[in-house]
Amino acid sequence: MFTRLDHIGIVVADLDTALQTYRDRLGFTLLERIEIPEQLVEAAFLEANNSTIELIAPTDTASGTARYLEKRGEGPHHVCYEVDDIEVTLAELAQQGVQLIDETPRRGVHGRVAFVHPKATHGSMIELLEKDAHHK
Ligand code: ZN
């Protein structure tokens, strides 16, 4: 069902401060920094060898990420797996009785994404990603 681990998403309070840590102190390479206005967040993708992380910071107090930060604080937020066909995967998960946050895919930074409810996966939220052809 899942073809490969794409990235681990980490919620942070402030993107610039987090970049100082991950890029400047820990030596990750910044791949891209992007605003996602419809989710009121800003994200940065960084790489170390074969592993990619996504730092996510709210740009507005109304954002769901801001509420998450308030409740849970900074830290790991989701694990993203690449899938070949997101509709097929969502249908299979629904058939298995796995609780989903998104029943239909939404637009992500690198393709179509959908989230599996953390209650269904022992507390670790899963992001499914069907990459756009030009991001493969
Ligand atoms: Zn992600």
Query: Does residue 1 carry a pLDDT above 90?
Result: no
User: How confident is the model at residue 17, as a pLDDT?
Assistant: 98
Domain ranges of the chain: 2-135
pLDDT tens string 49-92: 889 999 999 999 999 999 999 999 999 999 999 999 999 999 99
What count of residues does the chain have? Answer: 136
Once rounded to an integer, what is the mean pLDDT over residues 22-31? 97
Compute, in angstroms, the gap from residue 8 CA to the centroid of ligand 1. Answer: 7
User: How confident is the model at residue 73, as a pLDDT?
Assistant: 97
Q: List the CATH code of the domain at 2-135.
A: 3.10.180.10
CB contact set of 92 (below 8 Å; sequence gap of 6+) = 1
Compute, in angstroms, the gap from residue 29 CA to the centroid of ligand 1. Answer: 17
User: How confident is the model at residue 14, as a pLDDT?
Assistant: 97
Compute, in angstroms, the gap from residue 97 CA to the centroid of ligand 1. Answer: 23
Compute, in angstroms, the gap from residue 7 CA to the centroid of ligand 1. Answer: 6
pLDDT tens string 97-110: 999 999 999 999 89
**pTM of this prediction?**
0.93
Compute, in angstroms, the gap from residue 96 CA to the centroid of ligand 1. Answer: 23
Query: Does residue 136 carry a pLDDT above 80?
Result: no
- As a dihedral over the C-alpha atoms of residue 100, residue 134, residue 37, residue 10, rounded to 10 degrees, the angle is 60
Compute, in angstroms, the gap from residue 55 CA to the centroid of ligand 1. Answer: 9
Task: Give dist(CA 131, CA 86) in Å, integer.
Answer: 9
Compute, in angstroms, the gap from residue 79 CA to the centroid of ligand 1. Answer: 7
Task: Give dist(CA 34, CA 21) in Å, integer.
Answer: 18
Once rounded to an integer, what is the mean pLDDT over residues 15-27? 97
